[in-house]
Structure 1
Amino acid sequence: MDKTELYGRLLLDTELTMELRRSLIDRAQPAVVQQGNYIECQRCLSKTRKEQAMLPNGTYYCPQCILLGRVSSTNQLYHLNEPNLFSKLTQTPLSWQGQLSPFQQNCSKKLIKALDRPGKYLMWAVTGAGKTEMLFPMLTKALLQKKRICLASPRVDVCNELYPRIVAAFRKITPVLLHGHSKQSYQYSQLTICTTHQLLRFQHAFDLLIIDEVDAFPFVNSQMLKKAAKRAMKISGTLVYLTATPTKNMLVRIKQNKLPVSYLPIRFHRKLLPVPQVWLLNHWQNKLARKKFPVKLTNCLRKWSKDALPFLVFVPNIELLKPVLQVLRSVLPKNVLGDSVYSADPQRITKVQAMRDHQLNYLVTTTILERGVTFPSLNVMILGADERTFSVSALVQIAGRVGRSQKRPYGDVIFICQDYVKNVKDAVQQIKDLNKKGDKLLNE
């Protein structure tokens, strides 16, 4: 293991070679400390009651960050300061040949200004606005200034989609991709793409930290991950949030002028967002129990298949994945191929990639694919859109999967409900309001 792999990192003794541990013995710090009736993990900064964290041998472990490997009171943590030992670039690292629209350029210029001042910044842009491309000028400037950069997201699928796009746009840079399913081994790089959980392994590393889909689970409700993001940045660093659906707290801070923001209510192709159709089908679950769909629903799915259009069918819980998939396979032609996917699915990445590669015509999915994934010419259906599982932001994000491509900037978004509940009404209204703002911008 090379010493550079510890720059800006916070790693356990068990993750280091014996030789490196010996050379850095003065850098070791306890991984878990005791504070009265609690223990505090120094990797994730979480506190746990001693009785919940005690091991049979009398030592303590942290249950909060166990997904990254167990850390206990017998472990040490190691860290080396980030020296920004990157080669000086004499030419622009940007190999992307595209061009931003005037609206995108305006947002992009504000991002570049944000890079020059420490603190937080929000880019609020509708789904399909081209947020990734709007980052390119800022990333270019940061790379030329030898800044260390991280693009993080709460979702693995978002990271997997971002990585090839960043590689293609910056061919002179070798980014590293980090998440629990990544086959890449860690290497010291100026540009890191990772899940927000991986930020727990960094300390004062990044001059620029960008969190895409910042309002997504699990980051949005996790104080642990928010602390990790703060610690992963340098004190003088810039933190940029990206989202199409800001949280209520963010909206309040914007109104209070405590969170600088750039806002784009129009997609890159200058077309408005598809407005969802709400179908009240009271007995769809009873039909499903009899291994059938309502006729209207079946006809719709058959039409999509006949038109050779890919589609996603969202369900409110894992238990519905199998029965819905079975009915789909029974009512659609044999050559229309589909599968189901959920967060803990061991084949999750493979299935999503198969959909991207047109090897699958459809996926039945939980909310894990509500955001951050793009399939051209897509249609979407939500079964049980009135269930509590689907928040307003989730419904807006799911609708935002449709109409993203220049070739087909439209498509069907269908909410299947038993009741026209407030979340559904609010989601539809929010999309209509965004379209009003987008239309106004286009006609100014």
Structure 2
Amino acid sequence: MNQELSFFLSGRLLLQEEIPFPLQDQPVQFLQGVFKEKNQYHCARCGNHNDELFASFPCARCGQMCTYCRHCLMMGRVSECSRLVCWTGSAPIKREDGRLNWEGQLSKGQLVASDAVVEAVEENSEWLIWAVCGAGKTEVLFRGIETALQAKKRVCIATPRTDVVLELAPRLQKVFPTVGVAALYGGSPDRHKYSSLVVTTTHQLFRFQEAFDVMIVDEVDAFPYFYDPALQFAVHKSRKPNSALIYLTATPNEQWQLECKLGKRNHTKISARFHRYPLPVPQVRWCGRWQKAFIKGKIPPKVEDWVKSRLASDKQALLFFPHIDLMEQALPIFQQLDPHIQAVHAEDPERKEKVALMREKKLLLLLTTTILERGVTFPNIDVAVIGAEDDIFTESALVQIAGRAGRSADFPDGVVTFFHFGRTKAMLRAIAHIEAMNKEGRERGLIDG
């Protein structure tokens, strides 16, 4: 029983009712789920201490008005009378050699970053990998992960989005065939699987405590991680006190960019893609009052020409919309051009299937919200943004969207177009960001031509 429970509970922080084993005489510690300190409520699971995110209810368990945390309610209610359980016994032993099975070659830029990751793992230090979209950040991690696994360390790769988990886990399983990679997200079948290599959404880290020797946070600038202190709390809570912390992003925020420039943040910069072609620079095209066009049941002429051109040449494409309602309103109009055109967003129950159809090249054009701005790769696509002036399209979002094109060495010349009703600073900064990376890549000899 002790060994079985250790595999189930080691490194985790779970509600007592989530544990299907008797806990009597077991090496576990119980924590009060919600507690009051200095007249302020705190959630032991997600770190929430915002009064507006707590509420009270008449509790059948304790028979009193009981305060619970609303912030992490989707993972099961944590209240004042809830008990969270963590393992205090020895960690389970996984008999895996952790060797890397990959015959690929790293580019010059990737190799420098790979060495930095290995050093961070060995020294339990903090490091930022600042790499352009399509630089091959996953491959940069391989040797560092191997170093950790062979030292019997436990590794976590955390990312804000389920799509990225679903894409990344099979790739890692392929190159680390002796390790049972766990993929964690809402509804995951691996939910209770113990693994030395975990790929997870940042939300699932609420269920862990001091579990990992190496914490890798992918797309550290992405929503919701960057905007949610509780998710940042979850990352740090899930690390062991002496552990490595590695951040990955193509678009660090302004503060981090300044720290890198001033030498105040350890980082490695990869300013070119592995295939040595430049990043596609977005074209900016005015398309008039595009929202009014859709209300009238029409596609703005320049957008329609762009779509017809892709359909005629059998070229796959993504068309990004700022809001779900606008996209769903526009979908039937686009389907008049091709009935197979689909749309996808975060709450779409068929989201995984539609992305799979794109990967299988069974869809030519997919309308999407910013849910596909990062973390997914289609080898040969063009990309456009409709309403690029909308506030949701920040510099970071536009750089990431542009980064969907030209990722494959076989098709490095994807076209990126920003359709707009007025240029914004975000659009101009995104273009300047991409041009600056291309310039630096050429100066460092990372781009041919």
TM-score range, shorter chain: over 0.9
Q: How many pairs align?
A: 439
Give the deviation of 1:88 after TM superposition: 5.2
- Alignment CA distance shift 1:30-1:290 (3 Å): same
TM-score (norm 1): 0.94
Could you tell me which amino acid in structure 2 is paired with residue 28 of structure 1? F
**Are 1:65 and 2:65 matched, yes or no?**
no
- Kept in 2, the 8 Å contact 1:393–1:427? The answer is yes
Give the deviation of 1:303 after TM superposition: 1.3
Residue equivalent to 2:282: 276
**Whole-angstrom distance in 2 between the partners of 1:86 and 1:116:** 20
Residue equivalent to 1:264: 270
Aligned counterpart in structure 2 of residue 4 of structure 1, from 7, 12, 20 = 7
Greater displacement, 213-222 / 296-305: 296-305
**Whole-angstrom distance in 2 between the partners of 1:443 and 1:109:** 17
Cα deviation digits, residues 13-68 of structure 1 (max 9, x gap): 0111251x224486222111123543211111111438942113401110111121
**Structure 2 unaligned runs (5+)?**
60-64
Aligned counterpart in structure 2 of residue 142 of structure 1, from 138, 142, 148 = 148
- Kept in 2, the 8 Å contact 1:82–1:204? The answer is no
- Alignment CA distance shift 1:51-1:440 (3 Å): closer
**Whole-angstrom distance in 1 between the partners of 2:28 and 2:275:** 56
- Kept in 2, the 8 Å contact 1:8–1:82? The answer is no
**Whole-angstrom distance in 1 between the partners of 2:365 and 2:24:** 53
Aligned counterpart in structure 2 of residue 402 of structure 1, from 385, 401, 405 = 405
Cα deviation digits, residues 124-145 of structure 1 (max 9, x gap): 0000000000111111111111
**Whole-angstrom distance in 2 between the partners of 1:443 and 1:223:** 36
**Structure 1 unaligned runs (5+)?**
none
Residue equivalent to 2:217: 211
Helix, strand or coil at the partner of 1:297: helix
Counting only pairs closer than 5 Å after superposition, residues 9-88 of structure 1 correspond to structure 2 as: 9-19=12-22, 21-24=23-26, 27-49=29-51, 52-57=54-59, 58-81=65-88, 83-87=90-94
Could you tell me which amino acid in structure 1 is paired with residue 57 of structure 2? L
Query: Identity across aligned pairs (percent)?
Result: 38
Could you tell me which amino acid in structure 2 is paired with residue 190 of structure 1? S
**Whole-angstrom distance in 2 between the partners of 1:24 and 1:48:** 34
Aligned counterpart in structure 1 of residue 336 of structure 2, from 326, 330, 338 = 330
- Kept in 2, the 8 Å contact 1:150–1:191? The answer is yes
Greater displacement, 202-211 / 349-358: 349-358
Cα deviation digits, residues 309-349 of structure 1 (max 9, x gap): 211111111111112211211123x4xx2211111222222
Give the deviation of 1:252 after TM superposition: 3.0
Helix, strand or coil at the partner of 1:371: coil
Helix, strand or coil at the partner of 2:315: coil
- Alignment CA distance shift 1:401-1:82 (3 Å): farther
- Kept in 1, the 8 Å contact 2:53–2:70? The answer is no
Cα deviation digits, residues 387-411 of structure 1 (max 9, x gap): 1010000000000000001110011
Helix, strand or coil at the partner of 1:164: helix
**Whole-angstrom distance in 1 between the partners of 2:427 and 2:191:** 43
Greater displacement, 399-408 / 53-62: 53-62
Residue equivalent to 1:111: 117
- Kept in 1, the 8 Å contact 2:288–2:300? The answer is no
- Kept in 2, the 8 Å contact 1:176–1:186? The answer is no
- Alignment CA distance shift 1:326-1:50 (3 Å): closer
**Whole-angstrom distance in 2 between the partners of 1:285 and 1:429:** 27
Alignment RMSD (CA, Å): 1.9
Give the deviation of 1:93 after TM superposition: 1.6
After superposing on structure 2, the runs of 4+ consecutive aligned residues of structure 1 that deviate more than 6 Å are none
**Whole-angstrom distance in 1 between the partners of 2:444 and 2:89:** 43
- Kept in 2, the 8 Å contact 1:210–1:239? The answer is yes
Greater displacement, 388-397 / 163-172: 163-172
Cα deviation digits, residues 207-232 of structure 1 (max 9, x gap): 00101101001100111111111110
- Alignment CA distance shift 1:130-1:38 (3 Å): same
Helix, strand or coil at the partner of 1:192: strand
- Kept in 2, the 8 Å contact 1:318–1:366? The answer is yes
Greater displacement, 269-278 / 114-123: 114-123
Helix, strand or coil at the partner of 1:55: strand
Greater displacement, 139-148 / 98-107: 98-107
